[in-house]
Structure formats: C-alpha cells, structure tokens
C-alpha cells in the first residue's frame, strides 16, 4: 500500500517537473515473465524512480550498498525495493554479502519479479555509454543455473533533454527483450558465457542509447534535439506520459546521423546550430515559438481571465518548493543529482505543508474538504498556465522580431541538413 502511494506520488512529481515523458515500447513489456531492465545511468538515482512509475508492478533496483545501508533510512529503502550491491573497494568480506543478495534476486525472479540494474556502475550525464560491467550477465547466468529458464533482459536508455531544467523533456527507450534460455549454457565454460552475454547486452544497450563519441558533436546534439522534439510535438497532441511514442527511437536515429557526419558536414551544421541558438538568446525567444503560434484570441482571453487563479495557485503552492531549490543550489555539487533532489525534497516539504494546511483548515475554518481539493488543483492549474504563458510570450516576441525571417531560414537550413 505504501509502495503504491509512493509510486503515484513520485509520478505526480515527474509530471510537474518534466513537460513530457516519451516512452518507446512500453506496450511490449511482458508482466508474466521475470525481467531485468539493464539501463544507462545519467541522472543519479532518478531513473529508478521514473522507471518505477512506468512499470505496473514493483521493480527491485540494485544500488550501491553505501546508499541502502544508511540505518535511519534502511526501512524506507526496503519499502521502495532497493537491494544493495557490494563492491570490492568496500572490502572482501562485504563482497561475500552479494551472494545473499543474489539469492534474494533469484528467489524474486522465480515469482516473475522485475529487477533494475545499472551496469555502467557509475552515474554520468552524457550522450554516450561507459563500458558495462558483468553484473547483468552474472545474474543472468546465475538465474539459468537456478532453474529460471525464461528470464528476459530489456536494454533501457534514458535521455534527458536538459536533466535539471524545469519543464524539459524526458525520453525513455525500452529495447527488444533479450531472452535467456538454457541452450546458451551448452558446451561452454561459465566465464566464457558471461563474457559473450555481456558483449551482446552491451551491443543491445548501444541500440537504445544516444551514442556520440566527440564532445563537440554531443554539445550540438544537446541543442539540436530540442528542435527535433518540438517538430514531433507539433505533429499531433501528446499526453504528458506518452507510452507508445517513437520520439526516443527518432532521436537515436538522428544521433547516428550526426555521429557519421564527416568534418565538413559537421562544421556546417555546428555553425548553423550555434548561430541559431545565439540568435534565439539575443531575441529572448524559444524554438517552440517557431513551430507553433500561441498568440490566439482564445489564449489571450484565457491568460487574462485565468491570471488571478494563477497567482492564487503560486501563493498557495510555491512555499514548500522554495526550500528544495535553495538546498539543492547550496549543497548539491554533482550535476546528475540536482533534478532528483529538487523534485524529492519539494515533494517531501509539500506533503508536510499539505498536511499542516489541511489540519489548520479543519481546526479553524472547518473547510478541510475545500483545502484538500483546492491545493493540488490550483497547483496543477498554475503549472498549465505557466506553460501557456511562456509559449504565448515567446510566440509574441517571435512574431514581432525584426530577425524573424533570418531565424526561420537558419532553422530550415538545420533541418534540411539532417533530413
């Protein structure tokens, strides 16, 4: 019960922070088969939380033991299904404890459980993939030895357009499942099987992740993917959680195109992209204003009439968010952890604030029902108003810019060069 509530509450936080979450191949997940999600690791531990909100059943995640074994938080980590993995650097005796963890994993897999693991062994935001360690392969082979003959491994790729930016985009690519069957064990030594399986998993993980080796090309793709996502968004209406989206795969295809560009082709693209975004910055507009004009009579009336409710929502709901912003800004130095800590700390303070406001409303105003409903509703309305107002303002600036034609020409050149 607690797990289900936390999963729902975490999903609310993700919906507030990210404008859209695009998921490729979610509909292909088989919930009646033991499954491991082998994922890249670009955002601290946020991937675990996000994947948990996507999957309909609990997912056990393997994480560093120093995270899980904090005494005061251990009970909480047990609730959210975190399992410790011990590293050699923590001492040989501690590594032996992995055998107990693996036994727990095999026990769960026999009941068709889902397991999540980050085989890179470290978190780093990048358009690339570190060499994967053999943990996934060892567990896979161990599962076969324990009579689990239908295990599937799903290569998973997380791509954050701007990980710590409010109202940015998140793309999740769930690859085709790798089926582990007993025949891979025939006439081979265990270490050889693990090496071969690890190499195969590594290849499949490359298929679902953005792989760009040069830093210059990574920087260009970071900007370019905003254009690509905006083009996709304008084609049709997308839900916040788009569970059957082709956007992650399309971005992967564009990244491959950029990776294969020769130096002359790339320099031309790089100059156009840099000039384009430099011009957008000078004109103080966003790319989305070029693909959709939000300056309409309906939107104008909506913004005017809805402004009082928007301000009310900000006043009622922003207070518990402010501490999270200040805490992360002051104390979080590692970029990969900023987004997840902003969201989780905000949600922690918001839950306390929500409880206190409802208690005070009940004791002094006798309006607990009104408070109970109005706080989240005004928060959600203010978020949607914020999105519309930002798009409206940017569309207005673009429509009245004397660089409008030049900006559009630059964008067309960029899109033509990668089409």
The domain ranges of the chain are 2-211, 217-291+410-417, 297-400
Query: Quick one: CATH architecture of 2-211?
Result: 3-Layer(aba) Sandwich (3.40)
Range 73-78 contact pairs with CB under 8 angstroms and sequence separation of 24 or more = none
How far apart (Å, rounded) are the C-alpha atoms in residues 212 and 38?
20
Model pLDDT, residue 145: 92
Residues contacting 27, CB < 8 A, separation 6+: 243, 244
Are residues 335 and 163 in contact, defined by beta-carbon separation less than 8 angstroms?
A: yes
Model pLDDT, residue 244: 83
How far apart (Å, rounded) are the C-alpha atoms in residues 30 and 77?
26
Model pLDDT, residue 102: 87
- DSSP state at residue 43: S
Q: What is the DSSP string of 390-412?
A: HHHHHHHHHHT-TTHHHHHHHHH
- pTM for the full model? 0.91
Which residues of the chain fall below pLDDT 50? none
Torsion of CA 94, 99, 103, 106, to 10 degrees: 110
Handedness of CA 250, 217, 329, 118 (dihedral sign): positive
How many CA atoms within 13 Å lie on the side-chain side of 27?
7
Torsion of CA 339, 167, 210, 244, to 10 degrees: 120
How many CA atoms within 13 Å lie on the side-chain side of 285?
27
First-residue to last-residue Cα distance in the chain: 49
CA-closest candidate to residue 170, choices 216, 225, 117: 225
Residues contacting 144, CB < 8 A, separation 6+: 151, 180, 181, 182, 184, 185
Model pLDDT, residue 93: 66
Are residues 390 and 292 in contact, defined by beta-carbon separation less than 8 angstroms?
A: no
Model pLDDT, residue 369: 65
């Amino acid at each position: 019960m607690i797990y289900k509530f936390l999963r729902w509450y975490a999903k609310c936080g993700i919906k507030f922070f990210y404008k859209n979450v695009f998921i490729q191949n979610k509909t292909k997940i088989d919930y009646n088969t033991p499954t491991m999600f082998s994922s890249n690791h670009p955002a601290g531990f946020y991937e675990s939380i996000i994947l948990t909100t996507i999957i309909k059943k609990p997912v056990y995640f393997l994480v560093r033991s120093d995270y899980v074994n904090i005494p005061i938080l251990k009970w909480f980590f047990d609730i959210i299904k975190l399992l410790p993995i011990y590293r050699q650097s923590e001492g040989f005796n501690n590594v032996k404890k992995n055998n107990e963890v693996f036994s727990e994993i095999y026990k769960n897999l026999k009941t068709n459980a889902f397991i999540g693991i980050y085989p890179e062994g470290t978190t780093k935001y990048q358009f690339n993939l570190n060499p994967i360690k053999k943990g996934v392969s060892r567990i896979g082979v161990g599962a076969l030895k324990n009579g689990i003959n239908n295990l599937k491994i799903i290569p998973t790729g997380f791509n954050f357009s701007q990980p710590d930016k409010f109202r940015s985009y998140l793309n999740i690519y769930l690859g085709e499942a790798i089926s582990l069957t007993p025949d891979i064990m025939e006439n081979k030594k265990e270490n050889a099987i693990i090496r071969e399986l690890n190499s195969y998993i590594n290849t499949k993980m490359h298929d679902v992740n953005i792989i760009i080796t040069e830093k210059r090309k990574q920087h260009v793709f970071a900007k370019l993917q905003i254009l690509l996502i905006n083009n996709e968004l304008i084609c049709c209406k997308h839900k916040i959680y788009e569970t059957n989206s082709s956007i992650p795969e399309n971005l992967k295809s564009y990244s491959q195109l950029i990776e294969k560009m020769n130096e002359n082709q790339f320099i031309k693209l790089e100059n156009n992209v840099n000039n384009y975004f430099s011009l957008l910055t000078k004109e103080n507009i966003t790319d989305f204003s070029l693909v959709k004009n939000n300056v309409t009579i309906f939107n104008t009336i909506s913004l005017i009439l809805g402004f009082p409710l928007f301000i009310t929502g900000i006043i009622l709901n922003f207070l518990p968010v402010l501490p999270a912003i200040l805490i992360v800004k002051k104390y979080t130095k590692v970029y990969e952890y900023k987004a997840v800590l902003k969201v989780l700390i905000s949600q922690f303070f918001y839950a306390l604030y929500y409880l206190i406001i409802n208690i005070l409303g009940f004791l002094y105003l006798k309006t607990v029902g009104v408070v109970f409903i109005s706080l989240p509703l005004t928060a959600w309305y203010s978020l949607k108003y914020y999105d519309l107002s930002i798009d409206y303002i940017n569309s207005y600036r673009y429509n009245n810019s004397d660089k409008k034609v030049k900006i559009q020409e630059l964008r067309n050149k960029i899109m033509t060069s990668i089409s």
